[in-house]
Amino acid sequence: MESNLKFESQKLATWYFTVAAILFGAQLLMGLIAAAQFLYPSFLFEIFDFSVARMVHINALVVWMLYAMIGSVYWLLPEETGIETVGIKIAKLGFFVLTAAITVVVLVYIIVQIGPATESSIWLIHEGREYIEAPRWADIGIVVVVLIFVANLFLTAMKGRQTGIVTVLMADVLALAGLYLAGMFFTDNISIDQYWWWWVIHLWVEATWEVFVGCLLSYGLIKIIGARREVVEMWLWIEVSMLFGSGILGMGHHYFWIGTPEYWWEIGALFSALEPVPLIAMFVHVIYDWGKETGLKEAESKASGEGYHSMNNSPAFTWFVMNAFGNFLGAGVWGFFHTLPQVNIYTHGTQFTSAHGHLAFFGAYATILIGMFYMAIQGKNNISILKATFDSKMAVFLICFGVMGMTVALTIAGYGQVLVERAQMGATWEGFFVSQDMMWFVQGIGWRLAMGIVTFVGFIYLIKDLLTTSKNSIHIK
């Protein structure tokens, strides 16, 4: 496919997006295997166990999102700064190193699966710590490549035009990369282990990643509907204050039960209860700007008599709006459901958590990153107005409906589990399995698999659209 991209940085971005989309598919496939094992436990038993499917499921998730995030920065950087990314050659080398490393890691996960209880297993196979299982050798490789990426960003921003969006990105990406180091050590003390583990997981997904999304939203609003930069960047700073103001100390909600002192109850409850506020603000921001900017431009175009298109990338914008809504619903509402310690003492570590996890990761991150894929499709093919196609609409509908369906199904299953396993029987081995055999639980898990399949069909439409939409004649070149 010929490319119309002027900047090497944007070419590199499309490579990152491509790998991200492949890993997204891998994530969904692994999720389907794990979901099927809930219903049919003998499926692939002692061949490809739940623990393996689940590990690849969540690792592919984290890695595809990081890939798409890195890709997004390489995409928007030349547009924001006005110059080619500094050190683009080494950035490309970094991409190949990272992709090779990740391929090896995934193959080892799938083929080797487990190792003996030795330090070398942690160095070579996996660390067995949810989300950041990558073995230590890969950790070091990831750090090196991320350092290249951070250097690209900083050097380019210092040489070119440093917009508000780029400034926030610089601070955010530095924090995001630095936090990874908190997950790179071994300790015999499980409380200390989980304390620092949350520094990576929580400060990523409930702080730095959210701010990252704020940057992408700002960029998207400016690019797609032509929102004014002063307004958007002012909102961005407000969002940063609110996201970091609530998110950093909201960490306390992970410190209720891991051995840490009681004061985290109050701190965690208060600040994590505030976490939805910026998500509402982001939602309002998108909808308000959308209505206002489009309204203004349409009024202008009517007055001047020219046919003005206020939106130049419908599929991307649809995903951006899904992000505003999904972030609020998945991270905000579903998170708030069980963030207070009075509730969390029963719901902690049940399908409730899983329900929240699915909608939050999807709503807050997957949506906007898919939106960025469409930005790249538009740029790469030099399309001035990218329109929605049948496939793109099917993708939006099926993926959103599927994930929402999984979330509702898991919430219902989780509700039954919490009442029976936790409240009634008291969290024992027996209580757990009694709850897992309940009709309501099994039905919920069944619907989760069905909705997972719907999501996967949506994913196929998405890939089809991403691959073919540029040839569609409805777009305006």
Partner 1 sequence: MSKKVVSVWTSIPFWRRSAGWVTGFASILLIWLTFDSMSQISMGTDADLKAGITKRVPGPTVINYKITYEMDTKRGHEVPVIGEKEKFFGRDDWSEDEARALLHLGKLGSQTKNCMNCHTLLGNGAYYAPDLTKAWLDPAWGPSGPYLGMTNSSTKEEAMSKFLQDPSQYPTHERMMPDLDITEKEAMGLVAFLKHMSSIDTNGFPRNFARMSTDGVTGAIHGK
Nearer to partner 1, 31 or 371 (CB): 31
Binding segment (CB under 8 A) for partner 1, from list 65-73, 138-146, 344-352, 454-462: 344-352
Could you please report the per-residue DSSP string of 278-330?
HHHHHHHHHHHHHHHHHHHHHHHHHHHT----S-SBHHHHHHHHHHHHHIIII
Nearer to partner 1, 451 or 462 (CB): 451
Binding segment (CB under 8 A) for partner 1, from list 25-33, 63-71, 74-82, 129-137: 129-137
Which residue of 285, 338, 348, 475 would you call a contact of partner 1, by CB under 8 A? 348
295 is a site residue for partner 1 (CB under 8 A): no
Output the smallest distance, CB 55 to partner 1, in A.
5
Output the smallest distance, CB 12 to partner 1, in A.
30
447 is a site residue for partner 1 (CB under 8 A): no
What angle, rounded to 10 degrees, do the helices at 429-437 and 439-468 form?
70
| Whether the Cβ atoms of residue 161 and residue 230 lie closer than 8 Å to each other | no
Nearer to partner 1, 50 or 95 (CB): 50
Residues 416-435 interacting with partner 1 (rule: CB under 8 A)? 422-434
| Whether the Cβ atoms of residue 70 and residue 16 lie closer than 8 Å to each other | yes
Pure H helices in 83-163 = 88-111, 119-124, 136-159
Site string for partner 1, 213-242 (x = CB under 8 A): -----------------x--xx--xx-xx-
Structure tokens at 74: 């390489």
Phi-psi sector, 327: left (phi>0), alpha (psi -120 to 50), beta: alpha
CB atoms within 10 A of CB 36: 18
305 is a site residue for partner 1 (CB under 8 A): no
| Whether the Cβ atoms of residue 373 and residue 396 lie closer than 8 Å to each other | no
Binding segment (CB under 8 A) for partner 1, from list 40-48, 60-68, 310-318, 319-327: 40-48
Which residues are paired to 209 by β-bridges? none
Residues 5-34 interacting with partner 1 (rule: CB under 8 A)? 34
By CB under 8 A, how many residues form the interface with partner 1? Answer: 88
255 is a site residue for partner 1 (CB under 8 A): yes
1 is a site residue for partner 1 (CB under 8 A): no
End-to-end CA distance of the chain: 16
470 is a site residue for partner 1 (CB under 8 A): no
Give how far Cα 195 sits from Cα of 274, 283, 360, Å: 21, 31, 22
Which residue of 13, 26, 36, 55 would you call a contact of partner 1, by CB under 8 A? 55
Nearer to partner 1, 53 or 399 (CB): 53
CB atoms within 10 A of CB 159: 14
Site string for partner 1, 157-176 (x = CB under 8 A): -------x------------
358 is a site residue for partner 1 (CB under 8 A): no
Residues 172-211 interacting with partner 1 (rule: CB under 8 A)? 186-195, 197
Nearer to partner 1, 276 or 379 (CB): 276
Burial of 476 (0-12, 13-18, 19+ CB in 10 A): exposed
